[in-house]
Amino acid sequence: MLPIGPLLIEPRLLERMIEVMKKELISTEKGENVNSHLIGVAVDFIQTYADKCHHGKEEDILFRDLNKKNLQREHRRIMEKLIEEHRWGRETTKKLVEANVRYLNGEKEAGRDIVNFMRELVIFYPKHIEKEDRHFFIPCMEYFTEEEKEHMLREEWDFDKNIIHEKYKDVVAAAEESRKL
C-alpha cells in the first residue's frame, strides 16, 4: 500500500459523520432542541479521528517529508493551504465544543452558535477532502522513492498505534483536573 492509502481511506468515515451532523443541523434549524450528546460524539470523533489521527499523519509524516523535497510551486501552495485549513478546522471544532458546554450549562442562546459552527464544519470538510483526494495526494507520490514510501507507511501504522494511548492519557488527565476543582 502507498502511504497515501490510509489518507485516502480515512475520510470516508469522516464523510459519514458529516452526514450525521448535516441531519442534526437540519433538525436544529427546524427548531428541535440541540442534541448535545450527539454533538459531543461528533466533536470527539473530529478531534481524535479526523484531527489527531488523520491530519496528524498528514502533517507529521507526509507533509514533513514533502517539505524536504523541491516541490513545484503549486504543490507547495496547496500544502500550505491544507495546513492552514487544518488549523481553521481545529479552532472551529474547539468553538463548537465550547458552545456545546455553554448549552449544557443552560445557556440556550448557545444553540445558535452550535448551529453556525456545525454549518461551517459540514461545508468545510468535503471541500478540504476533495482538494487532497483529487488534486494533491496522487501527484505528491512522484517525489518519493519506493523505499521512502514504504518507510512512510510503516511510520503511519506506528502513529496510529500511539493514538489510543495519547487519547486516554488526556482523558485521565482531564478527569484528574476536574476533581481538583
| Beta carbon of residue 158, minimum distance to Fe ion (angstroms, whole number) | 19
Q: Which is nearer to Fe ion, 35 or 92 (CB)?
A: 92
Q: Which is nearer to Fe ion, 8 or 115 (CB)?
A: 8
Whose CA is closest to 39, among 116, 90, 97?
Answer: 97
| Beta carbon of residue 113, minimum distance to Fe ion (angstroms, whole number) | 25
| Beta carbon of residue 172, minimum distance to Fe ion (angstroms, whole number) | 28
**In whole angstroms, what is the distance from residue 64 CA to residue 69 CA?**
9
Find the radius of gyration of the CA atoms of the chain: 18
Residues in touch with Fe ion (CB under 5 A):
58, 132
Q: Which is nearer to Fe ion, 34 or 129 (CB)?
A: 129
**In whole angstroms, what is the distance from residue 124 CA to residue 103 CA?**
23
